[in-house]
């Protein structure tokens, strides 16, 4: 990558010739001249950028489900209940040049942090009608999820749906649901 601070030093003979920059090996770059980017200039302004990123997620869950009762004209009602616990941790360690804002790429601050999440959920499917004239199937679905984060609070989302097939080859379906986007570790702990 290109170190912009060093490029600016190399482009200014007065800065490049200062005792501090000369000691770092600054070479004057004649940006509008014929031999503007010599190997010595390139060696001074280029660097190998590094960024170390890590992410861990530990997840434990339990769900129980199955058919709970049969509707004679529709079929079995299915129910699933469950819970999950997640522990998420992550970090990003950009190079010192990037953190200092001297890179030609995007500036980035170090990021590190984590959160814990507990969720409870349930899903219910009720087949009201099946294999009847004018109603190959009519099924209602309901689902909910409660999410509690240790960093920013909790939320409950749900879904309600209805599926109707008058014949095997035609199906009409309507669904209404709510969602939210949980902040990522970068959203919660990231710098500028």
Q: What percent of the chain has pLDDT over 90?
A: 58
Q: Give the residues across from 117 on adjacent strands.
A: 86, 149
Whole-number pLDDT of residue 28 = 86
Which token pair is 180?
């939210």
Q: Would you tell me how many other CB atoms lie within 10 Å of the CB of residue 143?
A: 16
Cα pseudo-dihedral 100, 5, 1, 109, rounded to 10: 10
pLDDT tier at 34, thresholds 50, 70, 90: low
Give this prediction's pTM.
Answer: 0.71
Encode pLDDT of 77-130 as tens digits.
Answer: 999 999 999 999 999 999 999 999 899 888 888 889 999 999 999 999 999 998
């Amino acid at each position: 990558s290109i170190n912009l601070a060093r490029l600016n030093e190399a482009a200014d003979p007065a800065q490049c010739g200062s005792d501090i920059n000369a000691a770092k090996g600054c070479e004057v770059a004649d940006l509008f001249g014929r031999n503007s980017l010599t190997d010595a200039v390139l060696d001074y302004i280029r660097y190998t950028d590094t960024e170390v990123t890590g992410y861990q997620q530990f997840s434990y869950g339990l769900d129980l489900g199955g058919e709970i009762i049969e509707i004679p004209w529709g079929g079995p009602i299915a129910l699933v209940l469950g819970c999950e616990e997640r522990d998420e941790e992550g970090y990003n360690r950009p190079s010192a040049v990037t953190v200092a804002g001297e890179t030609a790429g995007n500036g980035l601050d170090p990021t590190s942090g984590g959160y814990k999440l507990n969720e409870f959920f349930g899903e219910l499917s009720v087949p009201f009608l099946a294999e009847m004239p004018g109603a190959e199937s009519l099924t209602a679905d309901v689902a909910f999820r409660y999410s509690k984060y240790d960093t920013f609070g909790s939320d409950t989302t749900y879904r309600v749906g209805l599926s109707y097939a008058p014949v095997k080859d035609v199906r009409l379906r309507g669904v209404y649901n709510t969602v939210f986007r949980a902040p990522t570790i970068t959203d919660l702990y990231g710098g500028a």
